[in-house]
Amino acid sequence: MSDIEIENIDTILKNINSGIKGKKLYPVGHPAIAASMTKSYQALSELLKTNNRIFVGMAKNVLVFEETPLMDAEKKLGELIHQINQREIEGIIFEKGLAQKEFFSFIDVLSEENALKGKELQDMMASKNILHISIKSIQKRSILDTYNDAVSAIKEIMNEIRMGKIPQSKEIIRLTDEMTGLVLTNRDAMVGLSMIKNYDNYLFNHSVNVSILSIALAKNMNYQKADMHIVGTGGLLHDVGKTGIAEDIIRKPARLSGEEWETVKQHPVLGSKITEKMDGLTRLVGRIVYEHHMRYDHLGYPHTESTLHPLGMIVTIADAYDALTTLRVYQRPSHPVEAVKVMNNLSGKHFDPNMLKAFVSMLGFYPIGTVVRLSTNNIGIVTKVNPANNLAPTVKIVFGEDGKQIDKPYEIDLSKGSGTHAIVASIDPLTKGFDVGQFFEEEAKSLTL
């Protein structure tokens, strides 16, 4: 790239800036706007004779022209910067062959009051035949990115353990931090994501789901953020000890022999030994891992007479709920309402009754992810709990009254309105061939951090 004179940069950007400003003050075609836009276009086309592309963008809040940061641009180019930021643009790329008409249309787009972003912005530019200018949008992380990163992180940890290494904890700590923050700001979407099950990689998704549900339960029980983080880490790592057990036993599609069962029962002990060696984790994480199968009545494993830590008992509940709602070789998945019923029958045995109550009230009578039939015969998925009315959550309608899948699902808050839409029954998603996990995956893609 040839060196670009600062005066040229000035001419191009200052005139774009006044072009955008002018658009708000003068009617289209007014000479005051046309003059500055033409000047800008001419200077830019001159540069495009020797450069195939010219980049204008933002880097760390500073406007950049090609490689030149314009440190004091804020004063002179405030309007341009404002419009770029509003549209979440990281860079504008002007390409060789740019016609004046395209350039003018682009200034139109930049001065429109309705600041379109991302794909919508690109579609709008394409519809105006702006072919020699492209936009790079700021990539925002979605809630689904966090979930998927956590799945990858636990997979990586388990691989490291299998190779005999002491696993790194930095990524686990960072992701649990992100998940804790998301449960605080967007709990229902996170609980929805815990409905993603993966038959082949059961253990990885299971670990992340248990982490999310544990954090959500701790939040519901008014634990401090620091404790939510600890229980989230414990949830994520609760089954790492399974890496020490032969794969064919873990995946065995039949009843385990007495000897095999004794081996599986080692995983809390093995797991806590691993987490205790990991850098930067509090000892409590190891204790949670150690205690997650002990059961409230102390009839689980490993056997103990001493008091169990409440955070460990939280993970026990989250662990059971996720296991029950997952398809396994030896078990069809329970839908959420059934799972809660099974768990209620184990209250005081497997689970601390008060904690289980908190868990059930957090999930609601129809937990997030429940597929329900409404009085109108529509079928929908519970997406949000309504704490004021357990029986009337928010439901996203996915099947119409005629039983056919709807193109554009829509949400109804059952607690509002005349009560014409009431839940008649919860149904098994398998009967409708519906993948609940995939549904929440799609939902979470558009939810940014």
Whether residue 414 contacts residue 395, with contact meaning beta carbons closer than 8 Å, is answered with: yes
Whether residue 401 contacts residue 369, with contact meaning beta carbons closer than 8 Å, is answered with: no
> Does 319 contact Fe ion by CB under 5 A?
yes
Applying CB under 5 A, the span of 92-100, 278-286, 318-326, 337-345 interacting with Fe ion comes to 318-326
Residue 209 CB, shortest distance to Fe ion, in Å, is: 9
Residue 242 CB, shortest distance to Fe ion, in Å, is: 7
C-beta closer to Fe ion: residue 70 or 324: 324
How many Å apart are CA 367 and CA 147, to the nearest integer? 20
> Does 239 contact Fe ion by CB under 5 A?
yes
C-beta closer to Fe ion: residue 290 or 440: 290
C-beta closer to Fe ion: residue 88 or 352: 352
Residue 245 CB, shortest distance to Fe ion, in Å, is: 11
Applying CB under 5 A, the span of 81-89, 126-134, 148-156, 311-319 interacting with Fe ion comes to 311-319
CA dihedral 242, 246, 248, 254 (to 10 degrees): -60
Applying CB under 5 A, the span of 1-9, 103-111, 313-321, 386-394 interacting with Fe ion comes to 313-321
Q: Which H or E element spans position 426? A: strand 423-427
> Does 188 contact Fe ion by CB under 5 A?
no
Residues 357-376 as x/- pattern, contact with Fe ion by CB under 5 A: --------------------
C-beta closer to Fe ion: residue 102 or 319: 319
Residue 160 CB, shortest distance to Fe ion, in Å, is: 19
Whether residue 137 contacts residue 89, with contact meaning beta carbons closer than 8 Å, is answered with: yes
Match 């979440």 to its residue by tokens. 88
> Does 102 contact Fe ion by CB under 5 A?
no
Applying CB under 5 A, the span of 101-109, 233-241, 339-347, 436-444 interacting with Fe ion comes to 233-241
Applying CB under 5 A, the span of 235-243, 309-317, 379-387, 412-420 interacting with Fe ion comes to 235-243
Residue 329 CB, shortest distance to Fe ion, in Å, is: 15
Q: Which of residues 10-69 bind Fe ion (CB under 5 A)?
A: none
For the chain, the 3-state helix, strand and coil shares in percent, each to the nearest 5, are 55, 15, 35
By residue count, the chain amounts to 449
Paired sense of beta strands 53-59 and 89-95, if any: antiparallel
CA angle 335-182-271, nearest 5°?
70
Residue 238 CB, shortest distance to Fe ion, in Å, is: 6
C-beta closer to Fe ion: residue 6 or 329: 329
Residue 307 CB, shortest distance to Fe ion, in Å, is: 20
Mapped onto helix, strand or coil, the DSSP state of residue 12 is helix
Mapped onto helix, strand or coil, the DSSP state of residue 77 is coil
- What crossing angle do the helices spanning 170-193 and 143-162 adopt, rounded to 10°? 130
Size of the site for Fe ion (CB under 5 A): 2
Query: Encoding tokens for residue 389?
Result: 């009315």
Residue 147 CB, shortest distance to Fe ion, in Å, is: 17
Residue 229 CB, shortest distance to Fe ion, in Å, is: 19
Residue 267 CB, shortest distance to Fe ion, in Å, is: 6
Phi, psi of 393 (to 5 degrees): -80, 180
Whether residue 343 contacts residue 242, with contact meaning beta carbons closer than 8 Å, is answered with: no
Applying CB under 5 A, the span of 139-147, 312-320, 327-335, 357-365 interacting with Fe ion comes to 312-320
The DSSP secondary-structure symbol of 335 reads: P
C-beta closer to Fe ion: residue 79 or 352: 352
How many Å apart are CA 253 and CA 307, to the nearest integer? 35
How many Å apart are CA 80 and CA 19, to the nearest integer? 9
C-beta closer to Fe ion: residue 364 or 437: 437
C-beta closer to Fe ion: residue 359 or 399: 359
Phi, psi of 102 (to 5 degrees): -65, -45
C-beta closer to Fe ion: residue 317 or 382: 317
Paired sense of beta strands 53-59 and 62-65, if any: antiparallel
How many Å apart are CA 435 and CA 432, to the nearest integer? 9
C-beta closer to Fe ion: residue 192 or 312: 312
Binding interface with Fe ion (CB under 5 A): 239, 319
